[in-house]
Structure 1
Amino acid sequence: MSRRTMEWAAKSDHLHGIPRKVVIAAVGSFAKTVSSLINTTFVHNADTLLRLVRSRPKGIPLITVSNHMSTLDDPAMWGFKGFPIFDTKLARWVLAAEDICFRNPLYSYVFRTGKCIPITRGGGIYQKHMNEALGRLNDGEWLHTFPEGKVHQDDAPIRRLKWGTASLIVRAPITPIVLPIVHHGFHEVMPEKYMFGRRPPLPLCNKKINIIIGDPIEFDLPAMSEMAIAQSRNDSFPTIGWPRTSDGLDEAAQRHLYTTLSEKIRVAMEKLRCYGKSFLKS
């Protein structure tokens, strides 16, 4: 096993779960401080997220997707009042950039015990730890992703999404509930270029954070798969060797399906972003 990815530290029974409890408690305290104490956070439609985190049907996985405006988005976006951020069983799994969060053994251990899954940016949808993410979904867990793939601090429309999240939805043994979230304000709490082109050493205070939670996105995967197969029949581009999915989709069909799914998620997120802007002006 890789020293940096530390699969063993991510297991719930690692040292009887004590390291995970310590890390989740510390991270939760930090998130509460950032979002509820030194800054002001307003949440629209929080009940939907709370209901799905606490009491969705047993065995049904949850994927939340959001824009990515700062390195603090996760965990700070879960620090709003009323969110059960200290509960290790309810806590999200999150896809985290390997080059940032897993740079050395200490970081790797902390992020692993904090329920983070390392992802190599540019490594493709069939990289090793995407299978780990699928395993978490198969267990009915909650997974959070940032499908834009990187931090964008400008208040611009949601960009074209990477295919990773769409591939997880398609390849998951049990189709997950997909919940879009858009937030605004964390880019002011942790600006990328605050002083001398660097982030501030600590989160800034007295900022206003808004979190807009949508409703679950409806997907008709069988119909979308059939359409993807039909659209891909005349494709003639070079393939890179993706395996077929469990329901028989080849690489060409997968590309069409992941594009369609990603666009549907992007549109849902963009609607929330536009609603949030009008919400802020009112």
Structure 2
Amino acid sequence: MIVQRLLSSSVIGVVGLACKAFLNIGFKQVAVSGIHNLLNALDDSERKKGRGIVTVSNHISTLDDPVTWGTLPFRCFTNLHDMRWTLGASDIVFTNPVFSAFFRKGQVLETFRGNGVYQESVDTAIKKLNEGLWVHLFGEGKVNQPYQYQLLQDTDNHGCAHDGELVAKLPRFKWGVGRILADSDRLPVVIPMWLSGFENVMPEPRPAGFPAKFLPRFRQSIRVCFGEKLDENELKRVLMAVGTPSPVPISYPTNTIIKRDSIPENVIERQRQWEAVTALVHQSVENLGYSVSGPLLGLPHSPFLMAKPYTSR
């Protein structure tokens, strides 16, 4: 156990310092706002009583994690308790034994796309929260850059848009976000985040071939914004509005794909809770995005823009 912690501390310390150096040297401008919202949560004594922290953000490049965490103070790189756990796709980061060992020591939980929310990584994320730890989630479950967002005619005055102007919509979040929140022993502190500019550092699609596929674009400007924590009473209100289901086991066997028509009714009720909570978190992240990046969520303005559906790569 001690050896494993030392290895994790080494990986996180080295990567954290490398990301901080990269931010200081490789970028034209790095703007960070609201970081006190996260630091206050990390210092909260309630963590010792089993109340975890969940940060949720948009996902606009393969560099979002770990480069974003280069904005954290040095203390987070030397204390595993103050560093995030996150979920990583098996087919992206756990591609060989060396990478697998490295990312596990970096507090990344291997997640299998298509296996739904009843898998070991989601269960483990819930357990980490029950220990008062910090879990970061990319709600979309994959990279979506601003040019892929759905564009609609605005009718609700999002951001600084006027009625009838175009507004971008952040792709829907996976409702595993809701399960992780609702199934924790105590409702975690939930902090929305918004990342911008990373799509210019690692634009998609990437050029073919090595090393161009893996090289970032330097001297770009990025922004990392930590929003205010969500109102705990509002989260509870959403949970209660959907109804309180009967207790059920925390999960099905690892990597088992469950068909909806085979799920008991009390589990379906719980899923409705997860979906409702996920929608609330999605709205908070999207609204933060409007306040930071405007109604187009970072998509450059152009007279040729028109309403369009979501574009999947």
TM-score normalised by length of structure 2: 0.75
Which of 53, 57, 62 aligns to 1:62? It is 53
Are the counterparts in 2 of residues 35 and 209 from structure 1 also a CA contact under 8 Å? no
Identify the residue that residue 239 of structure 1 maps to in structure 2: 260
Tell me, in whole angstroms, the C-alpha distance in 1 between the residues paired with 2:175 and 2:267: 13
Tell me whether 1:106 sits opposite 2:98 in the alignment.
Answer: yes
Distance 1:56 1:266 in 2: 27
Asked if residue 210 in structure 1 is aligned to residue 223 in structure 2, the reply is yes
Aligned match of 1:266: 282
Match of 2:22 in 1: 34
Which residue identity does 1:135 align to in structure 2?
Answer: K
**Which blocks of at least 5 consecutive residues in structure 2 are unaligned?**
150-168, 245-258, 301-313
56-65 or 161-170, larger mean C-alpha shift: 56-65
CA distance in 2, matches of 1:143, 1:151: 18
Residues 207/105 of structure 1: CA separation in 2 closer, same or farther (3 Å cut): same
How far off its partner does 1:222 sit? 5.0
Q: Secondary structure at the match of 1:140?
A: coil
Give secondary structure in 2 for the equivalent of 1:276: helix
* Paired positions, count: 258
Q: Retained in 2: the 8 A contact 1:94–1:116?
A: yes
Unaligned runs of 5+ in 1: 1-12, 231-237, 245-249
Give the CA deviation at 1:54. Answer: 3.5
Counterpart of 2:67 (choices 67, 76, 98) is 76
1:148 to 140, 144, 155: 140
1:175 aligns with 2:196: no
Matched, 1:229 2:243: yes
Cα deviation code 1:71-119 (max 9, x no counterpart): 1111111112636441233111111111111111111110111111111
Give the match's secondary structure for 1:208.
strand
Identity of aligned residues (%): 30
Cα offset, 1:240, TM superposition:
4.4
Task: Tell me if structure 2 keeps the 8 A contact 1:38–1:205.
Answer: yes
- The amino acid of 2:243's aligned partner reads I
Structure number with greater CO (CA < 8 Å, separation at least 6) is: 2
1:194 CA drift (Å): 4.3
- 2:221 partner letter: K
* Amino acid aligned to 1:51: N
